[in-house]
């Protein structure tokens, strides 16, 4: 599982049918300090996340396919949660209201 921040959406008019009616989110990957690592992923949105939100991403194809309920499917990553708070070594990296 990875932590990311939603920075945009991806639109594709020609794609696999598994992506029909599903939002694709462009997410910057974050490190333990809550800062962008320079990496990114495109993930299927399973929770209606929005721009700027810190999210949990399953980045493993089999688990992602199980979440969308289709196998086989060309899916690797799925946004499965919104982070409310993140604590590393007892210190809040991301806290409510930040």
C-alpha to C-alpha distances, 81 to 16, 19, 24, 38, 46, nearest whole angstrom? 24, 19, 15, 21, 8
What are the residue ranges spanned by the domains of the chain?
A: 2-94
User: What is this structure's pTM?
Assistant: 0.87
CATH 2.40.50.220 fits domain 2-94:
yes
pLDDT of residue 96: 55
Report DSSP state, residue 66: H
pLDDT in tens, 23-75: 999 999 999 888 999 999 999 999 999 999 999 999 987 888 888 787 788 88
């Amino acid at each position: 599982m990875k932590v990311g921040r939603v920075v945009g959406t991806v639109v594709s008019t020609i794609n696999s049918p598994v992506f029909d009616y599903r939002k694709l989110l462009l997410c910057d990957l974050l490190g333990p300090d809550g800062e962008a690592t320079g990496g990114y992923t495109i993930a299927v949105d399973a929770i209606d996340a929005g721009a700027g939100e810190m999210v949990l991403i399953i980045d493993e194809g089999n688990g992602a396919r199980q979440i969308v309920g289709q196998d086989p499917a060309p899916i690797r990553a799925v946004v499965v949660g919104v982070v409310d708070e993140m604590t590393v070594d007892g210190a809040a990296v991301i806290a409510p209201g930040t």
